[in-house]
Structure 1
Amino acid sequence: MSEENPKLVLVFSGKRKSGKDFVTDILKERIGDRSVIIRLSGPLKECYAKDNGLDYEKLLSASDYKEKYRLDMLRWSEAIRNEDYTYFCKAAISKYEAERYPIWIISDARRLTDLRFFRENYGERMKTVRILASDESRKLRGWEFTEGVDDKETECGLDSVTEWDYRIENSGDLSGEQLTQPLLDLVQKYI
């Protein structure tokens, strides 16, 4: 890992349809080319798609296509993660050539081991961000409780964490700029 980069690692988590991608995409747009979005699910979905003859791009989207394969993909990835909890974190850093950028935006932490990896490797340079949204807001965005998904580690693995560096409430009608401003203020200290 580069001594110079990253200068700041923002690790986002939140339930399905809470707005993680919405917030991280806007933050990336506002920071510009000094940042990179690292999707921990990116290499996971890429390998899964390749192994199963599926459309990788469709698996990345917030679509019915992804939902159709979600359960099997979770089982498949858990087997890999049980062997090496760092596997997908390292693969994502490599996939997105993250060391080229001073600001890393991890868009989809889901497990305590994800936080552990970034904390162990980046210490004080890591800040955690929890995106919160009411069930009503999530339903308006297409969320529907799915047994075997919404009651598993991928959705509940970080529910026990009570200390977040930042909490963003995304249930109302705040603009993306309003939601990301506190983080943009933080980022300005590092670039």
Structure 2
Amino acid sequence: MGRILDISERIILVLLFAGFAWANWRSEHLANLLVLATEAMTVFFILIRRQAFSISAQPVDWLLALGGTMLPLVARPGGQSFAPEVVGIVAMIGGAVVSAAAKLSLNRRFGIAPANRGVQRNWAYSIVRHPMYVGYFMAQFGYLLINPSPWNIGLYLAAWSLQFGRILREERWLLTDPEYQAYAASVRFRLVPGVF
């Protein structure tokens, strides 16, 4: 069953990414290619990830993880920007850099559903426990500033809500591991140092 879920997750992700890539490749905003690159890196690392030591079997964990990851892939270019384009571009660049640093830190430990593929304590993960989500939020916010259609606004609000739930559920899962408990004690904040 686990193998079927793994393959299904990868196929769905690749198909959604293909639609997202096609829509944004043809977009009038070249800045949209920054978020496209960030999402491409997500797909790449999911395709090459290593086997987990343990993975959550809780349906809620899977729904939050799949929704938080896949909903942003149905965002589409469009809408009249209400902020200077440079603000969106800076947010997308910052998000792409943070997300890339986190993904490169994890390398083949990357996955969607809560799983233990070994605790990463170095580089981006020495600052906050979930730097990849920080990068996602920044890049997606920049994309939304440039493409503020009602569809994208509703979609990202839903995706971000799922991501926060995902973080909390993922933490709950990982805190069953003594090695992760020690890591959480040394890196106290999830997303923003001194805040959360």
Same fold (TM over 0.5): no
Which structure shows the higher strand fraction? 1
TM-score if structure 2 supplies the norm length? 0.29
Higher RCO (CA-CA < 8 Å; seq separation 6+): 1
TM-score if structure 1 supplies the norm length? 0.30
